[in-house]
Amino acid sequence: MARFDKPVDRRDSDCMKFDGVRALYNKDDLIPMWVADMDFCAPNEVLSALKLKVEHGIFGYPGNLSKYYQAIIDWMEKRHNWRVEQEWIFPAPGVVPAIASILEELTTPNDKVIIQPPVYHPFLNIVKKVGCEVLENPLIYRNNRYEMDYGSLEEMIDERVKVLLLCSPHNPVGRVWNKEELKKLGDICSKYNIIVISDEIHHDLVFPKNKHWVFAQVDENFVDNTIVCTAPSKTFNLAGLQTANVIVPGEKLREKVQHKFSTVYNSFPNVMGIEATKAAYTYGDNWLDELLDYVKGNLEYLEEFIEKNLQPVKVIKPEGTYLVWLDFDEVNTDGLTAFDFVLKKAGVVSEPGEKYGGSTTSIRLNLACHRETLQKALFKIEEAINKPTV
Ligand SMILES: Cc1ncc(COP(=O)(O)O)c(C=O)c1O
């Protein structure tokens, strides 16, 4: 665990999380806990693979990617018990551009696409940009967790609904949907012939006692109607390498994705992304297990701190991801949104609930940081709530 406790100075590294915040607010002392990347170095094996590539010195077009595909196939089988065939895999420069391209291929303007807010905010923008109508089926907060609303989902479906964007595990509320929940969702989508694009970018980040189900695996009837989006980026902190993989087990959908991707992406990933993916998926198990322990430790620290010192703040306990959704509804925020309150009064940069289609009383906090950073942020939030300056 020691490796995650070693602070890395990210300032002046052209990173959105730290340098972006400084540019935005013109302040040096803010604590950035917003964008979803981690303050941890990638596994040593990944760094070594990248160094080797740099030493080789040639970054020309890649080809014959069988080792790349094999690394993904092995990872999906060993970590997710899903046997993937090589021809099901389509590399893309990110899950977001992949979803956008797929929607362009599968829909025509005026089709409808369902999302389930509060949810990863680009979902809404992508659907609008491809010219489709967004249908929102908000999650319901019940028994201290968010759940999908199957009743309202079925009511809103008509013949113009073509796709549902599923976030699994769910950013920002941290649900790792269980098999029954996914089955209920998939049964409804199958009944109305709706394609499910399942964004599973957080699939490896699951806390003990929870299990991630690849959507296509939940029921054999879902296979032909599902597109699964994955990446090593959240798991191993490689987002800047822009390497994701879309996995399409059904033949008809595969032809459509193949058609689109061959025109927009040339079907090969970034050469550094190839090296990083192979190394991470081949050697990254221990690193990932230690990471999950560390993030879980951060979550437990946060929960205990809030229980002891910040009772009005409600923690929506995540079952996975390194993100936590906090509710400030019972905090006196002087009329500020929860995001503005923690920013202006505590100097902590979070993500605003409303950005995800949630409430202005909610924020999302990124726990993939050193414990010390989390401690400092919580002390500052406590000071802002319990000892407000006049
Ligand atoms: C659910 C979800 N999908 C996609 C992304 C971004 O994916 P990419 O950087 O591969 O476009 C994120 C990043 O936070 C995310 O949380």
Query: How far is residue 278's CA from residue 276's CA, in Å, rounded to a whole number?
Result: 6
pLDDT greater than 90 at residue 285: yes
What Rg, from alpha-carbon coordinates, does the chain have?
Answer: 21
Average pLDDT over residues 216-236: 98
Closest atom, ligand 1, to C-alpha of 96:
11
- The one-letter code for the residue type at 275 is E
Residue 165: the pLDDT is 98
pLDDT greater than 80 at residue 157: yes
**Percentage of residues of the chain with pLDDT beyond 90:** 94
Pocket test for ligand 1, best of 16, 38, 96 (most atoms within 8 A of CB): 96
Cis? peptide before 318, omega within 30° of 0: no
Closest CA to 10 of 302, 240, 171: 240
Closest atom, ligand 1, to C-alpha of 119:
1
In terms of DSSP H, where are the helices of the chain?
A: 2-5, 21-25, 44-56, 66-80, 95-106, 122-129, 150-156, 179-191, 215-218, 233-236, 251-264, 271-283, 285-309, 338-346, 371-386
Q: Quick check: 361 and 288 in contact, CB under 8 A?
A: no
Residue 1: the pLDDT is 57
Query: How far is residue 159's CA from residue 157's CA, in Å, rounded to a whole number?
Result: 7
Ligand 1 centroid to Cα of residue 254, in Å, is 22
What is the CB neighbour count within 10 angstroms for residue 128?
A: 12
Residue 388: the pLDDT is 67
Residue 353: the pLDDT is 98
If you ran DSSP here, which 8-state letter would residue 132 be given? P
Average pLDDT over residues 318-340: 97
Which domains are assigned to the chain? 2-43+286-386 (3.90.1150.10), 58-283 (3.40.640.10)
Question: What's the chain's average pLDDT?
Answer: 96
pLDDT greater than 90 at residue 265: no
Residue 54: the pLDDT is 98
**DSSP SS3 for 202:** coil
Pocket test for ligand 1, best of 16, 17, 95 (most atoms within 8 A of CB): 95
Ligand 1 centroid to Cα of residue 96, in Å, is 6
From 100-109, 183-192, 248-257, 379-388, the region with the lowest mean pLDDT: 379-388
pLDDT greater than 90 at residue 267: no
Residue 2: the pLDDT is 65
Average pLDDT over residues 343-366: 98
Confidence of residue 6 (pLDDT cuts 50, 70, 90): confident
Confidence of residue 389 (pLDDT cuts 50, 70, 90): low
- The one-letter code for the residue type at 266 is N
Residue 167: the pLDDT is 98
Residue 346: the pLDDT is 97
69-89 pLDDT, tens digit each: 999 999 999 999 999 999 999
- The one-letter code for the residue type at 211 is K
Query: Residue 371 burial (CB < 10 Å; 0-12/13-18/19+)?
Result: middle
Ligand 1 centroid to Cα of residue 168, in Å, is 11
Closest atom, ligand 1, to C-alpha of 170:
1
Query: How far is residue 45's CA from residue 364's CA, in Å, rounded to a whole number?
Result: 31
Ligand 1 centroid to Cα of residue 323, in Å, is 13
Ligand 1 centroid to Cα of residue 388, in Å, is 36
For ligand 1, which residues put their CB under 6 angstroms from it?
A: 36, 94-96, 120, 167, 171, 199, 201, 231, 233, 239, 244
Burial 40-75 (b: 16+ CB within 10 A, else e): bebbebbeebbeebeeeeeeeebeebeebbebbbeb
Query: How far is residue 267's CA from residue 90's CA, in Å, rounded to a whole number?
Result: 7
Residue 266: the pLDDT is 73
Ligand 1 centroid to Cα of residue 334, in Å, is 33
Average pLDDT over residues 240-263: 96
Ligand 1 centroid to Cα of residue 74, in Å, is 22
Pocket test for ligand 1, best of 197, 206, 234 (most atoms within 8 A of CB): 234
For atom 13 of ligand 1, the residue with the nearest CA is 36
Q: Quick check: 315 and 326 in contact, CB under 8 A?
A: yes
pLDDT greater than 80 at residue 293: yes
For atom 7 of ligand 1, the residue with the nearest CA is 95
Ligand 1 centroid to Cα of residue 245, in Å, is 12
For atom 14 of ligand 1, the residue with the nearest CA is 36
Confidence of residue 183 (pLDDT cuts 50, 70, 90): very high
For every residue of 58-83, which 3-state class applies, written as one string? CCCCCCCCHHHHHHHHHHHHHHHCCC
Ligand 1 centroid to Cα of residue 250, in Å, is 23
Ligand 1 centroid to Cα of residue 59, in Å, is 26
Closest atom, ligand 1, to C-alpha of 244:
10
